[in-house]
Amino acid sequence: MRERDIDLSDRTPREVTPDELQAIDLVVRMGRSASNVCPATWNGENCDWGLDDPHERPIEQVREIRDEIEERVVSLFDELLSQTPSAE
C-alpha cells in the first residue's frame, strides 16, 4: 500500500462486533477466513469475494490481490450509487 501512498503501519485487523453489524446493510468478506463472521441474527446482505490471503505471498501476488480489491470496491460503489435514488 505504501506504493499507493497509503500508510497502514498503525492498522491491525479486528473483528466486527455484533452491534456494528446491526448498523450496516452489506458485509463483504474478502476470503474464506471470515466465513463465520455474520451471526445468525443478522439479516443484511453478505457476499464473499473469495480472495487469496496476501500474507507471506510474493510481492507480485500481493499487488495483484490489492489491485483486484480496488477494482471490486470501485465496481461495488458504482453499483450501489446506481441503485440510490437521485434527489430531485
Contact 78, 60 (CB under 8 A): no
Predicted model pTM: 0.76
| CA gap 54, 69 in Å, rounded | 11
- The enclosing H or E element of 48 equals strand 45-48
| CA gap 43, 70 in Å, rounded | 26
In a domain, 88, yes or no: no
Range of the domain at 14: 2-83
Instruction: Give the count of domains, the chain.
Output: 1
Q: For 18-70, write each residue's pLDDT tens digit.
A: 888 888 888 888 876 555 555 666 677 888 898 998 989 999 999 999 999 99
| CA gap 52, 58 in Å, rounded | 12
